[in-house]
Amino acid sequence: MLRYALQRFLTAIPTLLLVATLAFVLLHAAPGGPFDDDRNMLPSIRHSIEAQYHLDEPLWRQYLRFLSDLAHGDLGPSFQYRGVSVNEMLAQGLPVDLTVGLSALALALVIGGTLGVTAALRHRTLQDRALVALALTGISTPVFVIAPLLVLVFSVQLHWLPAGDWVAGSPGHLLLPALSLALPYIAYLTRIMRASTLEVLGSAFIRTAHAKGLGGTAVLWRHVLRATLTPLVSFLGPAIAGLITGSIVVESVFGLPGIGRYFLIGALNRDYTLVIGVTIVYGAAIILCNLLADLCYAWIDPRVRLR
Amino acid sequence: MTSGLPIEVGPGLASPQLLFRSLDDEPRSLDPLLTNDLPGQRIADDLFEGLTTIDMSGKAVPGVATRWETSGDGLTWLFHLRPDARWSNGAPVTAADFVFSWRREVDPRTASASAQGLEPIAHALEIASGKAPIETLGVEAVDEHTLKVQLIEPTPYLLDLLAQQYLFPVYEPVIRQYGDAWTRPEHLIGNGAFVLHERIINDRIVLDKSPTYWGAAGVRLQRVTYYVLPDQGEQAQRFLSGAIDWADSFGTNQRIWLRQKLGDQVVNAPYFAAYFLGFGFNLPPFRGNLPLRRALVMALDREPMVRSMKQGMYEPAYTLMPPLPGYRLPRPAWADLPDERRHALARELYHQAGYSDSHPLRVRLEVPSKGPDSRHFFEAIVATWHSVLGADVQLYESEFKVLSQERVLHKLPLFVDSWIGDYPDPKTFMQLRVTGDGNNNDDYSNPAYDRLIEAADREGDQERRYALFEQAEQILDDDAAYIPLYYYATRHLIKPYLRGWQSNVMDRNPSRYMYLLEHREP
């Protein structure tokens, strides 16, 4: 398995390089540059500023420079914010995304898991139907509707929670963003857990477990839940990547200093280095999460062989 | 909603004095010489101080300089610096600091987009264009506390110009030591009422009161936190939830309901900025076609369009320059014609230009993509041209950066343009149509106009000078040199317990005058 992991890890490098190259080419091909503004500069000043950022060089040389910097782990200076490097912006923003994303994941697992199993155990009751309906609503309501609604109720009307802002380590500031981000995933997980629990409950080995005289709780924890993990893991790999990279809307609504906002603002400002930097981080996150999910399969289900 | 209830404001000062404000965007730099955006100016006003500074009403008043005298021809100025002016590390602010800073500003290697702002100072433009060494700049430290400035023309707005952030002093040792990184909180040294405590890009900038500022005794705020909130809807949301005391702006489409909810906390005031459409003077179909340009100018119904679509916030415009206290805006004769008469004249001109229902004008109006609010306004313009003239103008939206680039390259026949005045003087607007000016996006050129602006530059008497600008404005109207749309207004949300500010046309509101009264929010 170690060998497999290493192999996957090595193939990730050309993939990432391709992603970075695409981002580089697309950005430079887009019309409008970082220093086009509503005020025009003197030609001499413009030339000087472009020289500082090497924009006066041919594109292939800029690309080689970019690759060489990248190999040294340097993503370059931001084009929009003078004196600030992309590395330090990512270092400032990424912990925010990780905190919000992983908190949302925890919320989704606990709430979605509980609701899904509950619905399955109470199959075809009113509770089951209500939960299924709720999950459908959750899946079909986009984050940009949920988030402002939560703010309206909990911040503007009830004054219970802040309407935005980020204070590292403050659960009050984390709750609404994490919840907004988690809601669709809670809904998905409810459905997945309900379906797979139902499937497992009807299978022969559960009947055997019951026949051996095991109690309901023991069957649930020792046999049912373990068997539901495989579909869960295949969902979680992309979901974790999605939670970390998909917070652009949540960041905008709550004014969080995460890298999703950098991505959006950077693209509009033609902040080449910043957008490429965020793209690489996002690409790496997606590759890594998928790899972890594959490794988890093998660990949970010995029938899966990795080669 | 609870926040709609009145806030109880007491007579005493709140304690502690912590102010929370918002910025519309992240400043591009905290270096006052490099920043040319409005959020950057807000921060620079708190962290630094020029020879002159602005009072609450935006007027230039003594800053680091306490007094000044000028030669008979108005070209040589002597500024006397206050001896108690200090950098935030305790070092005295000297005349040499200004010499260093201004030279740095025009040095092409600094690559400051604001270098042109120093144009009135001797040799500034030559240095910025790389044609003269930086030592030739017309600024000299006579002694530690006396600064001599040499101008190329009498500059009646010089005192206002000196209060601009790109003429603020910066501290040489820290720039030599850290380069571009000198604006980090751990390095930054300023001479203003506040010092930089923390900066998180695209999130917040936190300033603390500076103990070394010469006027520190009059500064009541202990800390100012600026949140960077590019989404105007979010600014209103934070204001309503009580998280900020001052919102720098809100969406134009939010005004009516915010006004109903918040009453006087919604503050609109005239702003020295204008919105207009530009023509490509060297491009068909407008090149040499005065009747066509005039027809498009006159066909628009500015009053109902601006008043209803901008929710009563902006004033319809008939000039390039927005209102300025003391300056009489010329009003073109066609502006007061009854609608039908004006439309008929516009149609006549349109036909005269060679267009008709069977051969309509077909051209693209290039606008920035800023969402439905702004699009609806342009749709109304295009629809009016269609219904009044029969013209077939297509709206074409592009990203701001793309539009800016094509404007500079003079590739667009009809486009949206705007300008925010640098200092409260007509010059900052009127130079936009001078032949060859870097911001003359139209390629407009009229020697008579250029002569008037030149004459105004030499004129020392304000009344006569303003009269020259009024004549110049008349030429722009005669030439149908652009399509005036509206003058901007500032739009802030301000809590009733926040005092120490005044609306002003430059929309500069330094934190050092502000203070908070005791209050209780329901």
Quote the ipTM score. 0.83
Please name the member of B28, B401, B439 whose beta carbon is closest to the beta carbon of A33: B401
Counted across chains A and B, CB pairs separated by less than 8 A come out at 148
Q: Let me know the angle formed at the C-alpha of B121 by B120 and B126, rounded to the nearest 5 degrees.
A: 95
CB proximity list for B33: less than 8 A, separation 6 or greater: B101, B104, B105, B110, B112, B114, B165, B166, B168, B170
As a whole number of angstroms, the distance between CA B467 and CA B471 comes to 6
**What is the reported pLDDT for B1?**
39
Which carries the bigger pLDDT value, residue B146 or residue A218? B146
For strand B482-494 and strand B315-316, is the pairing parallel, antiparallel, or unpaired? antiparallel
Amino acid type, A276: I
For range A22-44, the mean pLDDT: 87
As a whole number of angstroms, the distance between CA A186 and CA A105 comes to 9
As a whole number of angstroms, the distance between CA A287 and CA A267 comes to 23
Which carries the bigger pLDDT value, residue A306 or residue B366? B366
Interface residue A173 vs chain B (CB under 8 A): no
In 10 A of CB B360, how many CB atoms? 16
Is residue A306 over pLDDT 80?
Answer: no
For range A127-132, the mean pLDDT: 88
Interface residue B439 vs chain A (CB under 8 A): yes
As a whole number of angstroms, the distance between CA B292 and CA B295 comes to 5
Cβ contact (<8 Å) for B2 and A166? no
Cβ contact (<8 Å) for B404 and A268? no
Among B residues 311-330, those touching chain A with beta carbons less than 8 Å apart: none
The pLDDT tens digits for B228-248 are: 998 888 899 889 988 899 999
Cβ atoms of B284 and B414 within 8 Å: the answer is no
Please tell me the pTM assigned to this model: 0.88
Is residue B4 over pLDDT 60?
Answer: no
E strands in chain A? none
In percent, the amount of chain B with pLDDT more than 70 equals 99
Mutation test of the interface with chain A: which of B203, B225, B415, B420, choosing the one with the most A Cβ atoms within 10 A?
B203
Among chain B residues, the shortest Cα distance to A256 is held by: B203
Mean pLDDT of chain A: 86
E strands in B280-420? 315-316, 362-368, 392-398, 414-420
The pLDDT tens digits for B320-343 are: 999 988 888 889 999 999 999 999
Q: How near does any CA of chain B get to the CA of A151, in Å?
A: 8
**What is the reported pLDDT for A236?**
83
Q: Let me know the angle formed at the C-alpha of A244 by A238 and A248, rounded to the nearest 5 degrees.
A: 115
For range B187-210, the mean pLDDT: 95
Please name the member of B31, B227, B230 whose beta carbon is closest to the beta carbon of A165: B227
**What is the reported pLDDT for B5?**
56
For strand B76-81 and strand B146-150, is the pairing parallel, antiparallel, or unpaired? antiparallel
Among A residues 26-55, those touching chain B with beta carbons less than 8 Å apart: 31-45, 47-49, 52
Cβ contact (<8 Å) for B34 and A82? yes
The pLDDT tens digits for B33-64 are: 999 899 999 999 999 999 999 999 999 999 99
Which carries the bigger pLDDT value, residue A168 or residue B101? B101
Is residue A222 over pLDDT 80?
Answer: no
Interface residue B409 vs chain A (CB under 8 A): no
Cβ contact (<8 Å) for B108 and A80? no
Interface residue A84 vs chain B (CB under 8 A): yes
Among A residues 223-242, those touching chain B with beta carbons less than 8 Å apart: none
The pLDDT tens digits for A132-183 are: 888 888 888 888 888 888 888 888 788 888 877 787 778 888 888 999 999 8
Amino acid type, A118: T
The pLDDT tens digits for B114-137 are: 898 999 999 999 999 999 999 999
The pLDDT tens digits for B396-434 are: 999 888 998 888 888 899 999 999 998 999 999 999 999
Using pLDDT thresholds of 50, 70 and 90, give the confidence band for residue B2.
Answer: very low
Structure tokens at B255: 């005004």
Using pLDDT thresholds of 50, 70 and 90, give the confidence band for residue A305.
Answer: low
Among A residues 113-152, those touching chain B with beta carbons less than 8 Å apart: 148, 151
In percent, the amount of chain A with pLDDT more than 70 equals 98
As a whole number of angstroms, the distance between CA A138 and CA A221 comes to 27
Is residue B17 over pLDDT 70?
Answer: yes
Cβ contact (<8 Å) for A36 and B31? no
Sign of CA dihedral B193, B199, B201, B204: negative
Cβ atoms of B207 and B223 within 8 Å: the answer is yes
Within 8 A of B237 by CB-CB distance, chain A residues are 148, 151, 155-156, 163-164
Amino acid type, A116: G
As a whole number of angstroms, the distance between CA B480 and CA B470 comes to 15
For range A105-121, the mean pLDDT: 90
For strand B60-62 and strand B266-279, is the pairing parallel, antiparallel, or unpaired? unpaired
Within 8 A of B181 by CB-CB distance, chain A residues are 83
Q: How near does any CA of chain A get to the CA of B36, in Å?
A: 9
For range B202-218, the mean pLDDT: 95
The pLDDT tens digits for B369-404 are: 887 778 889 999 999 999 999 999 999 999 888 998
Most confident of A93-102, A279-288, B341-350: B341-350
For range B141-170, the mean pLDDT: 95
Most confident of A128-132, A292-296, B322-326, B479-483: B479-483
